[in-house]
Amino acid sequence: MSTSPLPPLVIDVVDALGTVLITVTGELDLQTVPQLAAVMTPLRARQCELDLVQVPFADSAALNFLVRHRRDALAEAGSLRVVAVSSQVRRLLKVAGVEGLLLADPDAGQSGSTPF
């Protein structure tokens, strides 16, 4: 029995006017978080916005990375704001109690895909 491979993780980076917008498409889990970390780690000292609206699934590895990256960014005078999330990612952040810590506007759009 063979399983079809998951679609690849796609990470787009746009550097505009001092803020870096990182848009992620695909699942964020133990297997794919290292790809995101490889892109975002060099940007720790920058003002970064993360768009996760096209992420249908994220696990604890993704959550751990986001919290650690935010902490490390703040230590280097950078920042991380999650500016858009899918409903699944919003639920993960809410259950973990970090919705207010990571989301640019934690109260906006409580249903479905949420661009901020």
Amino acid identity, position 91: R
- What integer best gives the mean pLDDT of the chain? 88
CA distance 4 to 77: 42
For the purposes of burial, counting CB atoms within 10 Å of the CB of 83, is it exposed (0-12), middle (13-18) or buried (19 or more)?
buried
pLDDT confidence band for 14 (50 / 70 / 90): very high
pLDDT in tens, 58-89: 999 999 999 999 999 999 999 999 999 999 99
Domain 10-105 sits in which CATH superfamily?
STAS domain (3.30.750.24)
Q: Give start and end residues of each alpha helix (H) in the chain.
A: 33-40, 60-75, 87-96, 99-102
pTM: 0.84
Tell me the domain boundaries of the chain: 10-105
